[in-house]
């Protein structure tokens, strides 16, 4: 099985670091894995998931958003200046660039390309927005996805704008990570394009929602909200009991568990049925 690291240059000179999993000679069924906030392509369960799906016959792409804060070292947040400038719109744009690169045979030569998006947490919302109006994307799977992009109180926003930035703690590394007020500007200026309810309501393709019942980072009520917007004929929702936001997986990865095995199996069966 092929596993290789490549880079994709974007029109604005930024670069996406990508890992490719699978066989180039059979890459018609592509799954693009979209990481979440403070996430990265080599975090915890992502490489294991990519290996698992590639072994099942899928062509899998994982990537770091250009402004996720990861620098030359694949697991260190050394570009906090870029992290501060990141926006939802930037991540939707870069996911679209990944889709386009696959379709123009940048990674392989698919004869009948079909794309599935798999997004975790904030990456779930980015996947939904990216899949909307893209006929090449045949299905979307969400792991612990957020349903609300605007997650901040009026008081938080006021202080954020007064300071020009807001700091968030990365509990794993202990780093304080800034988000510039341009993040709020993006939310306001691009409110119509970043309308998750509209994207889900008009998705018109199979959707899988998986969420831990004990998720403290993103309450399971957000999974229910997404399901409420969705076409029930095209949507499955599974609540995984006794597990949280990362389904019991931490970084560095130390192996799977019963709950995460359920998540993997349901995801695999979903993509087998929707990318054929």
* Helices (H), ranges, the chain: 45-55, 80-85, 88-103, 122-131, 154-163, 182-189, 196-201, 220-229, 258-274
Instruction: Write the pLDDT tens digit of every residue in 67-106.
Output: 999 999 999 999 999 999 999 999 999 999 999 999 999 9
Pairwise CA distance, residues 8 & 17, whole Å: 7
pTM of the model: 0.98
Pairwise CA distance, residues 98 & 58, whole Å: 16
> What superfamily in CATH does domain 2-148+193-274 come from?
Alpha/Beta hydrolase fold, catalytic domain (3.40.50.1820)
Instruction: Write the pLDDT tens digit of every residue in 246-268.
Output: 999 999 999 999 999 999 999 99
pLDDT in tens, the chain (276 residues): 789 999 999 999 999 999 999 998 889 999 999 999 999 999 999 999 999 999 999 999 999 999 999 999 999 999 999 999 999 999 999 999 999 999 999 999 999 999 999 999 999 999 999 999 899 999 999 999 999 999 999 999 999 999 999 999 999 999 999 999 999 999 999 999 999 999 999 999 999 999 999 999 999 999 999 999 999 999 999 999 999 999 999 999 999 999 999 999 999 999 999 998
Q: Domain residues of the chain, as ranges?
A: 2-148+193-274
pLDDT the model gives residue 15? 98
Cβ-proximal residues to 189 (8 Å cutoff; 6+ apart), any chain? none
Pairwise CA distance, residues 137 & 129, whole Å: 11
pLDDT the model gives residue 133? 86
Pairwise CA distance, residues 241 & 230, whole Å: 22
**Phi, psi values for residue 54, rounded to 5°:** -65, -40
pLDDT the model gives residue 25? 86
């Amino acid at each position: 099985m092929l596993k290789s690291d490549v880079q994709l240059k974007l029109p604005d000179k930024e670069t996406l670091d990508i890992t490719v999993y699978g066989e180039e000679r059979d890459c018609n069924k592509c799954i693009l894995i979209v990481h979440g906030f403070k996430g990265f392509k080599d975090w915890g369960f992502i490489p294991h998931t990519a290996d698992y799906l590639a072994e099942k016959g899928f062509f899998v792409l994982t990537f770091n958003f250009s402004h996720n804060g990861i620098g030359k070292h694949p697991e260190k947040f050394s570009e906090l200046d870029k992290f501060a400038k990141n926006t939802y719109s930037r991540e939707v744009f870069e996911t679209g660039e990944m889709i386009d690169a696959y379709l123009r045979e940048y990674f392989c030569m698919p004869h009948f390309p079909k794309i599935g998006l798999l997004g975790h947490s904030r990456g779930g919302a980015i996947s939904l927005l990216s899949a909307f109006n893209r006929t090449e994307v045949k299905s979307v799977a969400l792991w612990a996805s957020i349903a609300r992009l605007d997650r901040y109180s009026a008081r938080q926003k006021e202080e954020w704008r007064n300071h020009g930035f807001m700091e968030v703690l990365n509990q794993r590394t202990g780093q304080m990570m800034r988000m510039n007020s341009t993040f709020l500007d993006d939310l306001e200026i691009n409110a119509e394009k970043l309308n998750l309810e509209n994207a889900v309501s008009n998705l018109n393709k199979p959707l899988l929602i998986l969420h831990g019942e004990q998720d403290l980072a993103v309450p399971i009520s957000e999974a229910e909200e997404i399901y409420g917007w969705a076409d029930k004929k095209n949507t499955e929702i599974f609540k995984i009991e006794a597990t949280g936001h990362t389904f019991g997986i931490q970084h560095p990865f130390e192996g799977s568990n019963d709950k995460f095995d359920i998540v993997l199996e349901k995801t695999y069966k979903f993509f087998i049925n929707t990318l054929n």
